[in-house]
Structure 1
Amino acid sequence: MRLLLTTCLLAAFTQGACAADPLAWRGISLSSAEWGEKNFPGLYGKDFVYPTVASTAYYQAKGMNLMRIAFRWERLQPSLNGEFDAAELARLRDFVDGTTARGLHVLLDPHNYAAYKEVHVGKPEVPIAAFADFWRRLALQFKDNPKVQFGLVNEPRNMPTETWGQAAQAAVNAIRKTGATNLITLPGNGYTGAWSWFEKTWYGTPNAEVMGRVNDPLDRMVFEVHQYFDKDGSGTNAECVGPDIGVERLKRFTAWLKANKRRAILGELGGGANAVCEQAVTGALQHLQANADVWDGWLWWAGGPTWGDYFLSLEPGADGKDKPQMRWLAPFLSPTAPPARP
């Protein structure tokens, strides 16, 4: 009897995982332009640096199609409600324009935790209107590029969830008033953890009770949650809790998406280079694919030129060799996959 192996079965035998068709978005967070946050504006090339457009070719060749680019609100807009800094805008635009010209999509990531110079949005010094103004200006810069996505901010924290919900709605409204139709990604409060979406912790009302009220009139908005698999879910420890922790920390949020008829992207995930984390990450990605009716994709944390031997970095070494985690992701990537949905 002749045995025919599908591509998926072959992957299962050779790489330890069996992936269905890739999700629409598969990518990485490129980190370095947001560095030097204690020194504004800082010296370019010393305190912070943007990834090069050329560096994205490595990830594109692996089958990734979305680059999340981190930068700082304070550098781009040195004064609240003021004009953008010309030099910083040029650096951001060079990366975005060059990367999208390669056929990749770019997710803009103001890596600010919903704060401006460590003062959180909603305080008298940083009113919600200033956050909306920032996004109005940023949308005007990039609204004509359909390959650009707008991530409202990285990991809001240390504020009432109701305040963040109001700020998010104001930003969405400001974006849409410019005529921008770009996809928006909406994080929750308290570091936007999938596993803590229902928890009433230091920030008060759970995300599950507030964030579903944020509305996009174009219905082109998805939730952005982050999830790590170490003991405290921070992604600072190379050891993962157990092989099934990926699924365990995602499944309740997945059920919430289905119940509320919403969609999401896993904007950050990662794990140290060991067998337990490999199983946890593989399980998490299989869970996303099994629930593709509500999950649009994922982004690994992290890449970028300044990480050195950071245990979560996927940036290839000087020898050009892949990091071990890239092997885990291979079954969930396909360089010849159909184009992502617009």
Structure 2
Amino acid sequence: MAYKGVSLASAEFGESSLPGTYGSNYTYPTTAEVDYFVGKKMNVFRLPFRWERLQQSIDASFSADELARIDSFVTYATGKGAYVVLDPHNYARYYGNLIGSSSISQAQFASFWSTLSNRYKGNSKVIFALMNEPHDIDATVWLNAANAAIAAIRKTGANNLILVPGIAWTGAHSWVSSGNSTSMLGITDSGNNYAYEVHQYMDGDSSGNSDTCVSTTIGSERLVAFTNWLKTNSKRGFLGEFAGGNNATCQAAVANQLQYVTDNSSVWIGWTWWAAGPWWGSYRFTIEPSGSTDQAQMSWLAAFL
């Protein structure tokens, strides 16, 4: 499997303070974190950030300071041989306004991606994730927005891998019931280098808001329908977020999920755990080391690295 790693979050923090103040409302992951996880044999970092911080008003030039922070992380991580997934962590919104609304057009979303693509198209280790967890948006509106962004990326000459989410928080468990299994077949990519990004937690409602897992086999069970869809339609999938609390049931569920993904690597290209990062503290799923001590969940992942 090509990609195995973690979301290094904190640059998307401070959602209520946008664009916010660096070092107060949000921060970026450190070089020490990159070194630690590369040392654990992880080779991909998903970097969540906020669109509103990079482009502080629509159609404006990118913030030089924010771009420099992203540049610094990308340069260091890819210099260590790792891939970086650029993840605008915006839920198909810009300052709370849905893409495709009167406030933010699909063309403006595509323009954002054109600028970002021009910046990083020369680095083959940069992966473009179109958007984190679109929700409460019409499927056709999102499909058109995604296709516009993909076309804009390819127009820059970029050949980078693109990760495409569906609507309904891009849950694997609801891929069929949400209509993604039909609408997302309309994705077109002239470069033919994309995968569908899904997220899948193992608590009762698949939200990741609990550290209790439903069962030891729920990890694979919630991926079956999506995996079959990938196989039927000759598509590829990427597990962009998953996690479990520090208990025996979740440990087994995580192993069950990752083993299933590994066993179906003909269609699954990789995964990133949610999450690590400098500001997580005692968050239920963090694999940020505590000083020189690894978190328990880090040892669960080790068998799959």
Tell me if both proteins adopt one fold, taking TM over 0.5 as the criterion: yes
Contiguous gaps of at least 5 residues in structure 2: none
Q: Deviations over 1:166-214 (max 9, x none)?
A: 10000000000000011000011010000000114xxxxx101101110
Deviations 1:282-325 (A, max 9, x none): 1111111111110001110000000000010000002x111111
Aligned pairs, number: 305
> What CA distance in whole angstroms lies between the structure 2 residues aligned with 1:157 and 1:218?
27
CA distance in 2, matches of 1:89, 1:37: 18
The residue number in structure 2 matching 1:104 is 82
Which structure has the larger Rg?
1
Please show how residues 194-273 of structure 1 align to structure 2 within 5 Å. Answer: 194-200=172-178, 206-273=179-246
Give the whole-Å Cα distance in 2 for the aligned partners of 1:71 and 1:36: 11
Q: How big is the alpha-carbon RMSD for the aligned residues of Structure 1 and Structure 2?
A: 0.7
Q: How far apart, CA to CA, are the structure 2 residues paired with 1:28 and 1:292?
A: 18
Q: Residue 182 of structure 1 aligns with which residue? A: 160
**Which residue does the alignment assign to 2:30?**
52
TM-score between both structures, scaled by the size of structure 2:
0.99
Range with greater deviation from structure 2 (49-58 or 227-236) = 49-58
SS at match of 2:11: coil
Amino acid aligned to 2:44:
L
Residue equivalent to 1:284: 257
> C-alpha displacement at 1:53, in angstroms?
2.1
Q: Which residue of 1 aligns with 2:9?
A: 31
| Counterparts of 2:105 and 2:22, CA distance in 1 | 29
Name the SS for the 1:332 alignment partner: coil
User: What letter is aligned with 2:189?
Assistant: D
- What is the aligned partner in structure 2 of residue 16 from structure 1? none
Is 1:294 the counterpart of 2:273? The answer is: no
Distance 1:311 1:37 in 2: 20
Alignment partner of 1:328 is 2:303: no
Q: Which whole-Å deviations, capped at 9, do the CAs of 1:3-61 have from their partners, x for residues lacking one? A: xxxxxxxxxxxxxxxxxxxx211000011001111112211101000011221111111
Q: What's the CA shift for 1:280?
A: 0.8
Deviations 1:102-154 (A, max 9, x none): 11110000000010001110001001001000000000010001110000010
What amino acid is the match of 1:188?
G
1:89 aligns with 2:67: yes
1:274 to 2:247 alignment: yes
The SS at the match of 2:270 is strand
TM (norm. structure 1) is: 0.88
What amino acid is aligned across from residue 288 of structure 2 in structure 1?
A: E
Q: How far is 1:82 from its partner?
A: 1.5
What fraction of aligned residue pairs are identical, expressed as a percent? 49
Q: Distance in 2 between matches of 1:215 and 1:229?
A: 31
Distance in 1, matches of 2:39 and 2:169, equals: 31
Match of 1:163 among 141, 145, 150: 141
Q: CA deviation at 1:217?
A: 1.1
Determine the C-alpha separation between the residues in 2 that align with 1:52 and 1:282.
28
**Paired letter, 1:70:** P
